[in-house]
Amino acid sequence: MDQSVAIQETLAEGEYCVIAVQGVLCEGDSRQSRLLGLVRYRLEHGGQEHALFLYTHRRMAITGDDVSLDQIVPVSRDFTLEEVSPDGEFYIIGSDVTVQLDTAELSLVFQLPFGSQTRMFLHEVARACPGFDSATRDPEFLWLSRYKCAELELEMPTPRGCNSDLDTWPGYATIGGGRYPSRKERWRLEEARPQGAGSVLFWGGAMEKTGFRLMERAHGGGFAWGRSARDGRRDEALEEAGREMSAAAGSRERNSAGGSNFDGLRPNGKGVPVDQSSRGQDKPESLQPRQNKSRSEITDMVRSSTITVSDKAHILSMQKFGLRDTIVKSHLLQKEEDYTYIQNFRFFVGTYNVNGQSPKECLRLWLSNGIQAPDVYCVGFQELDLSKEAFFFHDTPKEEEWFKAVSEGLHLDAKYAKVKLIRLVGIMLLLYVRQEHAAYISEVEAETVGTGIMGRMGNKGGVAIRFQFHNTSICIVNSHLAAHIEEYERRNQDYKDICSRMQFCQPDPSLPPLTISNHDVILWLGDLNYRIEELDVEKVKKLIEEKDFQTLYAYDQLKIQVAAKTVFEGFTEGELTFQPTYKYDTGSDDWDTSEKCRAPAWCDRILWKGKNITQLSYQSHMALKTSDHKPVSSVFDIGVRVINDELYRKTLEEIVRSLDKMENANIPSVSLSKREFCFQNVKYMQLKVESFTIHNGQVPCHFEFINKPDEESYCKQWLNANPSRGFLLPDSDIEIDLELFVNKTTATKLNSGEDKIEDILVLHLDRGKDYFLSVSGNYLPSCFGSPIHTLCYMREPILDLPLETISELTLMPIWTGDDGSQLESPMEIPKELWMMVDYLYRNAVQQEDLFQQPGLRSEFEHIRDCLDTGMIDNLSASNHSVAEALLLFLESLPEPVICYSTYHNCLECSGNYTASKQVISTLPTFHKNVFHYLMAFLQELLKNSAKNHLDENILASIFGSLLLRNPAGHQKLDMTEKKAAQEFIHQFLCNPL
């Protein structure tokens, strides 16, 4: 997910967030999540300056409301950002990248996620450093004065495994500018390179090059040094392809044809060249992968994340490669079976809903008892932390507690490298590999998808890690789906949302992201929450007592939904030979004896999809009693494609030589199955898709939708082409989806007529011509995205009004009605708001988890249509769906209930109820009416808190960010001020209106 969008919302005019990455600030034993954004400011004289903006954040940063500015670090001449690699315990091998930020004033250490986003971030920071050109004026950073940042006095932390003196770090590669390496590090560089060779260093963007020829590595993360070929008869094209493809094949050591040793020197992953001439040169090629690597080599090779030839549908060329290299890669994909063989590796997959508890028992009974040491561990948790702090602010100490417990519970017969940890609120996934396999793990990416209320909250959703293991792409998904026996449709929707929204960056940022389905092997685990239906509690318990699991399984919701092909199509699950894993009394093996007395169910499941997968075991672990769930595990043998170097080399030579016969001078051309697209009756938040096919001629080509002159994007905000770029082999096809989706950002202008469903797309072929596609259609105006005062003047349903009237009312000034204008008598509040609140008042004041559990998308569309047509008598939806529709309505208001102009006054008055009421009294009449109406309704809900389990803090947190929004274009507030905004709403919930 691109979190730079959230940062951009916080910036002032003229400032642009180039790229953002989420990391962890390490201060001693403290670990605090931070969002790092590289911000560019263009100066009036034509130059530019950069600064690093550090944000605290709650949840995944989706909008500006989710982040708060913590500090700003100007990218000045004394700024450096260095990757460091302190020694540590075995489990950090191949883990996230540790970087040190230094200026004259401060020193900070961050852990950044291993993957392409971090590589691009570090690359952009390197480009932003001002360098040492004396003719260039020093940066002044006058534009930062508006932030009035207090000077920070921070001590540099001392990471584990190193001394505080920087010279004693095992190694570092500066990607910023402003400081030369220590004498010791300069000596190590000289020591590492052979006599007569030079080095390549980057200091503030300046490059010095001697002796060696610089080549960018295939994945863009680091650089490779290689000698120029001495054999003049060597095929130049083969040499170039060989250089790139040797990295693409997973950092294997091999000699090139013709005897030149261009692979003799390689980087160690940190910009320091190391001599590998003594490493494995005389070892014969065989069908077994090379494994006996030193620990430092494994660390470097995992972090280098070079491209391997896999991911059949999507692995394409890096931008810098050019067309020839792309063709080579594509042909290698087609011939993969010619140079690979299948080797089985053992995977342990485990899932555990820990019910917010801290670890109290040794986890070896779950993770390692009675099994051989696995090659790979995939361990998932749900409900890691149930506190409100974890829910609203994303922070929890439980992450470190359970991570430590898992690390201590791994099999004692092997050493393991922690490859990745990813968490969304209480959903956490850990990936470990045996230390000897770490060299063959690459392209590690991790993502999260929240499916909670408003599609954002992370109390439900999924996390995933994808990676390449040798030549096989693998995706691990851990999900926690909607609860309650009757909510199986919501669970189905959660699954589909995770599948559609979980996207992973590719090594080439110009290529479309990968989805879960774009992998050879998919392992899906978690608390899927599907229950036993149609049987009463006693009947379920009787069947369990008789161990008649086969009869009980016939009533399992997941089995029924899979059979109906509504979820997990193409997935397999092993036979359930263990009793249901939920719900137990904590600390025992007794079924739930609480007032609710929930029926037992197989909530915790493990499924898989792919070839060459054999399940060896599938079981629960009754011995662990920490939670009201029992942990589940499954052990698999998974066949992984391993490259035979000799066969790979021969295949590569054949491909490269065959390309010499191809005429690349021809101009590519394609045919399109359709060029005009009409989207009829587009509705708010309802996806519309039109598809067409591109058929390629006889010349390989790149295609891309490009921006029109003076436009920032290739299409309008409500439109998206998927994929928007790609590569086509001769006589091949690709289907493009044009996706139209109107949300809060685009709805208001479509309602007012300022924008229309009209656009022209330009499809560009590299070295070829442009093709033009026309998009047209009509938008059905909605109360969603309409201003409060506009809706108050609409006495008729919005869809019954002429478009001219809707446009006129939408464009009215916000103070209309307070100035004595003689328009038709308005309503005090929007009728649509009244319809939703009245429905909830009549049906949901005692509803548990109201405003915390999401509704169904199909029901939201029904609610929207009822509101827009005025057919309130037809409204039939769950309480959760109506509650979520109310929140989405408030979020879609172009001017929030508490107007932007009074926002800062509200913060200043927080804690002073009298002054706060005075601020509310200054609101426009319709906004003031809506505020009092909502507060009265929320107070009614609180009168029933014994039943609905709501309290003032929950409601203040949920409604505070919707009613009291930060003005667009203003700098974000820190956490203290956000809590002041929450306190402002809290006052009105606890005091008479």
Give residue-wise pLDDT tens across range 227-265: 233 333 333 333 333 433 333 333 333 332 333 332 332
Mean pLDDT (whole number) for 74-80: 90
pLDDT at position 168, please?
30
Q: Find all residues with CB under 8 Å of 353, minimum gap 6, and list them.
A: 381, 382, 383, 480, 527, 582, 603, 604, 627, 628, 629
pLDDT at position 812, please?
86
pLDDT at residue 169 greater than cutoff 90: no
Q: Find all residues with CB under 8 Å of 634, minimum gap 6, and list them.
A: 348, 349, 350, 574, 606, 615, 617, 618, 619
Does residue 959 or residue 155 have the better pLDDT? 959
List residues bridging with 273 in a β-sheet: 267
pLDDT bucket at 133, cuts 50 / 70 / 90:
low
Mean pLDDT (whole number) for 809-833: 77
pLDDT at residue 460 greater than cutoff 50: yes
Does residue 574 or residue 239 have the better pLDDT? 574
What topology is assigned to 895-992 in CATH? Answer: Phosphatidylinositol 3-kinase; Chain A (1.10.555)
> Residues 7, 55: contact at Cβ < 8 Å?
yes
Pick from 94, 96, 50, 68: which is nearest to 9 by CA? 68
Is domain 3-129 in CATH 2.30.29.110, yes or no? yes
Mean pLDDT (whole number) for 529-542: 95
Give the Cα separation of 833 and 828 in Å (integer). Answer: 11
pLDDT at position 167, please?
33
User: Which class is 338-645 in CATH?
Assistant: alpha beta
List residues bridging with 696 in a β-sheet: 670
pLDDT at position 323, please?
60
pLDDT tens digits, 368-394: 999 999 999 999 999 998 876 666 656
pLDDT at position 727, please?
87
E-strand ranges in 158-310 read: 172-174, 200-203, 206-209, 213-216, 223-226, 265-267, 273-275
Is domain 670-779 in CATH 3.40.50.10860, yes or no? no
Mean pLDDT (whole number) for 107-117: 82
Does residue 979 or residue 733 have the better pLDDT? 733
pLDDT at position 509, please?
67
pLDDT bucket at 205, cuts 50 / 70 / 90:
very low
Mean pLDDT (whole number) for 42-58: 86
pLDDT at position 239, please?
39
pLDDT at position 60, please?
59
Does residue 813 or residue 758 have the better pLDDT? 758
Mean pLDDT (whole number) for 587-593: 94
Helices 645-659 and 236-248 meet at what angle, rounded to 10?
140
pLDDT at residue 217 greater than cutoff 60: no
pLDDT at residue 501 greater than cutoff 60: yes
Note the pTM of the prediction, 2 decimals. Answer: 0.66
Q: Where are the domains of the chain?
A: 3-129, 338-645, 670-779, 895-992
Round the average pLDDT of the chain to a whole number and report it. Answer: 79
